[in-house]
């Protein structure tokens, strides 16, 4: 429990779905799964022999407003990247996040030099890029229908990876990101 009676995010999805805000968490989970399916992030398949699916988990977040009122419940599906083997499940990892202490000196220099500054939304392109590797993931809660029991998800597009919230980058995109990022 946080100061002032505000509860923190539940640690596990099962905990959230049994708690007082179960309906809100269920709605957030359904929304996230629907979005990933709309973007064609995965297909449901039988696991081929010789392959091991990586686990997945859900990261739960309550977004609050300036007065600490709840604005929304958010669920992020993340793959358990700690089970991957370089060259087998992925070829390279890359993090698209930069912290403000890194960005400030660049912006200061750009202002002093009167450079034009452009902003692009790399996050969406980065996460929704197609994968070349065959990566199989255990299905998160609520994805498989009863007739699909025992199946796994083959990832077609990038998804957050649990170990450090990095994403697998397809080989043909590596040169773009290496040239784009400072």
Tell me, what's the pLDDT at 125? 54
Tell me, what's the pLDDT at 91? 57
What are the pLDDT digits (tens) for 18-30? Answer: 999 999 999 999 9
Low-confidence residues in the chain, pLDDT < 70: 1-7, 81-98, 119-128, 160-182
Tell me, what's the pLDDT at 95? 53
In percent, the amount of the chain with pLDDT more than 70 equals: 68
Residue 144 near residue 104, CB atoms below 8 Å: no
Tell me, what's the pLDDT at 180? 37
């Amino acid at each position: 429990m946080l100061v002032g009676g505000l509860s923190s995010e539940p640690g596990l999805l099962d905990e959230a779905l049994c708690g007082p805000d179960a309906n809100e968490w269920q709605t957030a989970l359904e929304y996230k799964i629907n979005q990933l399916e709309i973007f064609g992030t995965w297909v449901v398949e039988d696991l081929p022999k010789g392959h091991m699916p990586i686990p997945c988990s859900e990261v739960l977040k309550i977004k609050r407003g300036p007065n600490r009122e709840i604005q929304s419940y958010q669920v992020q599906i993340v793959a358990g990247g700690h089970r991957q083997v370089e060259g087998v499940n992925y070829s390279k990892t890359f993090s698209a996040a930069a912290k403000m202490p890194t960005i400030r000196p660049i912006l200061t220099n750009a202002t002093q030099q009167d450079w034009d500054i452009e902003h692009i939304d790399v996050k969406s392109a980065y996460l929704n890029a197609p994968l070349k590797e065959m990566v199989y993931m255990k299905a998160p809660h609520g994805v498989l229908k009863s007739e699909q029991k025992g199946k796994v998800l083959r990832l077609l597009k990038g998804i957050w990876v649990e170990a450090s919230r990095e994403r697998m980058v397809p080989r043909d995109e590596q040169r773009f990101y290496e040239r784009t990022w400072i």
